[in-house]
Amino acid sequence: MALYEHVFLARQDLAQAQVDQLAEMATKIVEDGQGKVVKTETWGLRSLAYRIAKNRKAHYVMLEIDAPTAWSQSWSAS
C-alpha cells in the first residue's frame, strides 16, 4: 500500500465541530475504499493565498492515508 497526504479546505463560517464531522466523513470514505487514515491533523482557520468563492480564510485539515494504488485513481476521479 502507498502513503498519500490529502489536504482539504472547509469554509470559514463552519464551526470546528462541523469541520471535525467532515474529517470523519472523509475517513469513512477512505475506509470504505479499503484504505485507512494513519493520521488526521486539523491546522485550524488560516488565511488563503488568494480568494476562493469570495472567502479569504478556510479551515485546513490534512489526512495521511495508507491505501492501494487503485484507490488513489478512483479518489482523484470522483
pLDDT in tens, the chain (78 residues): 788 899 999 999 999 999 999 999 999 988 888 889 999 999 999 999 999 999 999 999 999 999 887 766 666 655
CATH number of the domain within which 22 lies? 3.30.70.60
Note the pTM of the prediction, 2 decimals.
0.83
| Number of domains, the chain | 1
Burial (CB < 10 A; 0-12, 13-18, 19+), residue 57, is middle
Q: What's the first-to-final CA gap in the chain, in angstroms?
A: 20
Find the domain containing 24 and state its range: 2-71
Q: Specify if 77 maps to a domain.
A: no
In a domain, 54, yes or no: yes
| CA distance linking residue 71 with residue 51, whole number of Å | 31
Tell me whether residue 78 is in a domain: no
Q: Is residue 24 part of a domain?
A: yes
